[in-house]
Amino acid sequence: MRLRFRLLALILGSALILSPAVAQETIKIKVVERYTLAAEQIYHRSPARDNPTHQLTLTLVYFTGSDWPRETMEEAVRNVAEILEQCGLLLRQVELVRVDAPQRYHYLDTPVSRELARTLQLARPTVYFVADTRHQPAFDAEAIGRGNSQTRPELTDSVWVTRATRDVGIALTHELVHVLTDSGEHIERPGNLMRAETAPENTRLTGAQCAQMREVGTKNSLLRGVAN
């Protein structure tokens, strides 16, 4: 997670109220392609799936015309799988969903993003790869769990990753842990994934963090036991 500082004038300029003509425009949001990655395509080696206790399925959303290469998203998913393996989590399947939508939907902007999620009705957890954020303060990536979505229920159990994000796979895993634990807590232990600042050397999770993720994620129907 990395906080960015930008000129207030730029923020205000990008958040102008839509004109009546635009507001009345017919919403054109359409899924144009779905592509599924099975576990065999996610893991670099088959022993990576030895003795998992829980499984996770992810939905990744990106936009036609965006500058998010599919290869970058797929490699990020492999990072997620490798990091979460230490907690006994198996990334069972990932669905990449390409969406046609007007440019304003390519940004994290609560009113517009709620409309996008409400229209798509995709399986959760849902990861949106967007151009940038309209939020202030501006974070490179943001997690929206049960505890911080009361006023925006359509965005519950979602992660939003902007193009400014560094170390995409690590940042994505960090935000997914926030969602799966339904907690915004950070821990400043050296090397821990949940340090406030994500970095390549921060990939470890404690036993307590893993247990919390499995318990809360299962309770919220985001994880399933491997026998289910």
Strand partners, 94: 37, 58
- Residue 11 has a pLDDT of 34
59-101 pLDDT, tens digit per residue, is 999 999 999 999 999 999 999 999 999 999 999 999 999 999 9
CATH classification of 28-225, choosing from 3.40.228.10, 3.30.1330.40, 3.40.390.10, 3.40.50.970? 3.40.390.10
- Indicate whether 1 pLDDT > 90: no
Residue 16 reports pLDDT greater than 70 = no
pLDDT tens digits, 150-189: 999 999 999 999 999 999 999 999 999 999 999 999 999 9
- Tell me the domain boundaries of the chain: 28-225
Pick from 36-45, 67-76, 110-119: least confident = 36-45
> What value does the mean pLDDT of the chain take?
89
Answer with the residue of higher pLDDT: 35 or 16: 35
**pLDDT(17) > 80:** no
